[in-house]
Amino acid sequence: MTNTVDYIIVGAGSAGCVLANHLSSDARNQVLLIEAGRDTGALSLKMPAAVLSNLTSTTHNWAFQGEPEPGLDGRVIQHDRGKTIGGSSSINGMLFVRGAREDFDGWAALGNSGWGFDDLLPAFRSIENSAIESAGLRGHDGPMSVSRLRTTHPLGEVFLKAASEHGLPLNHDYNGATQEGVSPPQVTQRNGWRCSSARAFLAPARSRRNLTVLTGVDVEQLLFAQGESRCVGVKARTRSFRLLSGGEVILSAGALGSPKILMHSGIGDLAALSALSIRTRLHRPSVGANLQEHPNSVVCAHVNVRTYNMDATPLRMLRNAIYWAVTGRGPASSPYPHAVAFLRSSPNEPRPDLQMLFGPFAFSFDERGILPYAGPAVSIVVNACRPRGRGQLTLRDANPASPVRISHQLLADEDDLNRQIAGCKIARQLLQAKAFAPFIRGEYLPGPETLDDDAWRNHIRRTSFLGYHPVGTCRMGIDNDAVVDPRLKVRDVVGLRVADASIMPLIVSANTNAATMMIAEKASA
**Could you list the active site residues?**
469
HSE at residue 490, side-chain half, CA atoms within 13 A, is 34
Q: How far apart are CA 243 and CA 231, in angstroms?
A: 8
Closest CA to 253 of 521, 524, 502: 502
Q: How far apart are CA 509 and CA 289, in angstroms?
A: 20
Helix-strand-coil percent breakdown of the chain, rounded to 5?
Answer: 30, 25, 45
Residue 248's DSSP bridge partners are 7
Coil, helix or strand at residue 72 = helix
Cα 408–chain centre separation: 15
Q: How far apart are CA 287 and CA 473, in angstroms?
A: 6
- Crossing angle between the packed helical segments 154-165 and 414-431, to the nearest 10 degrees: 110
Q: How far apart are CA 128 and CA 317, in angstroms?
A: 31
Q: How far apart are CA 247 and CA 231, in angstroms?
A: 9
Phi and psi at residue 265, in whole multiples of 5°? -95, 5
In Å, the largest CA–CA distance within the chain is 73
Q: How far apart are CA 419 and CA 382, in angstroms?
A: 9
HSE at residue 285, side-chain half, CA atoms within 13 A, is 4
Residues near 482 by Cβ (< 8 Å), separated by ≥ 6?
Answer: 286, 475, 476, 491, 505
Contact 170, 183 (CB under 8 A): yes
User: Which helix (H) or strand (E) covers residue 19, if one does?
Assistant: helix 14-23
Cα 478–chain centre separation: 25
> CA torsion sign, 388 to 102 to 122 to 28?
negative
Residue 95's DSSP bridge partners are 187
Phi and psi at residue 417, in whole multiples of 5°? -65, -40
